[in-house]
Amino acid sequence: MSGYNGPRFALWMALTLTSCAATAVTPLDDGDFESGALAGWSSSGRLGGFAAVVTEGECFSSFDTTGLVLSGNHAGLVRAGRPAEPGSTGTLTSRPFTAGIGVAFSALTETIEAARLPDMPVNFSVRILDAESGAELAAVGLSTAVVPLTGACHQHPVNGAFRTHYVDTRRFTGRAIRIQFSQSSKVRRAGLFTLVDDVVRLDAEDSQVLPDRPRAVAGVSRSGGGRLRLDGSRSSEPSQMVLSFQWTIDGEAFTRDGEFPCIDDLDPGDYRATLVVSNGLHLDADTVGFVVREPVESGDDDDDDGDGEGDDEETTDALLSGEGDSSAPFDCSDSPTNGADDDAGTTDEDADNGDGQQRQSLTASSDAFHHWNPVAWDGRGVALVMCPSTNGMDACELNGQPLERHGNRDKGRDVWTDYDGPTGQSGTVRCRRGAEQFEFRVSATADLEFGDC
């Protein structure tokens, strides 16, 4: 996760440069850097960090960059100094321009093949500045595409695909702003570069260049406190823009809002709920059918809804047991303020995720990890090293904040880290692997804490 704690509004999405070029987007002044110089940009830096323009086919790194393919002949480069001392930062700032609905650009970062570096080895941030005062209006940290480079120049050319990012500037539309790219290395003594190219402004009529729409996935699950709820958590937004959630249950004259609205007020019966998600530009909808049943005696067939036949895979069989704090507000997200019980170790095994796959029980307070390091490598952040049995997690988070997977690097064990956060953290690590969910309690804040493999 990013160490930047400022306002977050700008988020990435996978566009293609060809789709941008095919529409009436407005390039920033020298936004493609094809002048071969920083004609529309200014470069600055601290402790050796800098920005520059690079040329395709020429070597501009300690490693071989002659194989990198740019969209033209040139691209902008921003990087920390080669020693990558703490605080070494390169900065690239545009000339003033009038904000539209957003800015799109492509970016690519180098890493060192076979080195134990984070998956995203640099801190790369985008800031929106007031054109006149230079005051920061908003900022976000982004993960770019990464290319592993090998060998000295002119020996082993390696190409890598750029990723295009979208920055939402709708709340600044019509205002004179600048965009600023900053980069520093996460690894001392590893000065790495990030390339930036094809920086364009998008206006309202250019929204069609955003081909990736939000995807609604409707489901049913239980909160940590046992309350039955609709579940929109598998919905996705490629640009990571904020989604709104609105649910309509057939037969109801009102809507239920939020990612996890409670439905333990429903009587037993068959229901169908439609979820509509919106990112402010585009909508998507999905529908889930589910059955609310009376509590059944232990040992009954969970696959039978009382009619002697197994349930249709498109219908969620949601057993209403009456557990949980039904006096809490109709927000069933797993938060202590919403009636959730953080010590509750199960989700409803009868509730599926909207895709026909059943959600499994949560493994509460598991010690199936190798060790917890509250002071990770180089004295930065924290790290959790898994057991072989708990390798392959799709995602993990510490106290609700996402961790970054650094691969199978500790004698065949996966490592999940927060290099950018403070050392000495402790609490609850929750992970997901397919339909399985896991929970690990880590308490050490200074020394290694060993689990049980």
pLDDT tens digit sequence for 258-284: 999 999 889 888 999 999 888 766 778
- Total residue count of the chain as it appears in this document: 453
Per-residue pLDDT, 93: 97
Q: List the CATH code of the domain at 213-350.
A: 2.60.40.10
Rounded Cα–Cα distance for residues 102 and 203 (Å): 7
Tokens encoding 78? 């921003």
Question: Quick one: pLDDT band at residue 327, thresholds 50, 70, 90?
Answer: very low
For residues 105-128, average pLDDT: 89
- Return the bridge partners of 437, or none: 362, 432
Q: Which residue has the higher pLDDT, 343 or 281?
A: 281
Would you state the pLDDT for residue 65?
A: 92
Domain ranges of the chain: 11-209, 213-350, 363-450
DSSP structure string for 328-370: S-SB-SS-GGGT--TT-----TT-B-SSSPBPPPEEEEE--EE
Q: Is 170 helix (H, G, I), strand (E, B) or coil?
A: helix
Report the run of H or E that residue 19 belongs to, with start and end: helix 17-21
Q: Among 375, 376, 382, which Cα is nearest to 396's?
A: 382
Structure tokens at 438: 């896991």
How many CA atoms are closer than 13 Å to the CA of 124, on its beta-carbon side?
27
How far apart (Å, rounded) are the C-alpha atoms in residues 256 and 263?
9
Do the first three CATH levels of 11-209 and 213-350 match, i.e. the same topology?
A: no
**CB neighbours (10 Å) of residue 129?**
20
| Lowest model confidence (mean pLDDT) among 44-48, 264-268, 294-298 | 294-298
Name which of 44-48, 133-137, 352-356, 392-396 the model is least confident about.
Answer: 352-356
What's the CATH number for 11-209? 2.60.120.260
Q: Average pLDDT, stretch 74-86?
A: 90
What 3-state class would DSSP assign to 317?
Answer: strand
The residue among 216 and 331 whose pLDDT is bigger is 216
| Reported confidence tier of residue 323, pLDDT bands at 50, 70, 90 | very low
Per-residue model confidence (pLDDT) at position 337:
40
CB 167 within 8 A of CB 239: no
pLDDT in tens, 311-322: 333 444 444 333
Half-sphere exposure of 152 (CA within 13 A, CB side): 0
CATH of domain 363-450: 2.60.40
**C-alpha span between 264 and 378 (Å, rounded):** 49
Q: Which residue has the tokens 């290099």?
A: 419
Task: Determine if the pTM surpasses 0.75.
Answer: no
Separation of first and last alpha carbons in the chain: 27
pLDDT at 124: 94
> Whole-number mean pLDDT of the chain?
76
Q: Which two tokens stand for residue 231?
A: 């579940």
Percent of the chain with pLDDT strictly greater than 90 = 27
φ, ψ dihedrals at 74, nearest 5°: -135, 160
At 221 the three-state DSSP class reads strand
- With beta carbons less than 8 A apart as the criterion, state whether 64 and 154 touch: yes
Of 31-45, 347-361, 392-406, the one with minimum mean pLDDT is 347-361
Per-residue model confidence (pLDDT) at position 290: 87
Q: Are 63 and 149 in contact (CB under 8 A)?
A: yes
Nearest Cα neighbor of 41 from 247, 158, 199, 174 is 199
Tens of pLDDT along 187-217?
878 889 999 999 999 887 665 555 567 888 8
**Percent of the chain predicted with pLDDT > 70:** 74
Residue 336: left if φ>0, alpha if ψ -120 to 50, beta else—which one? alpha
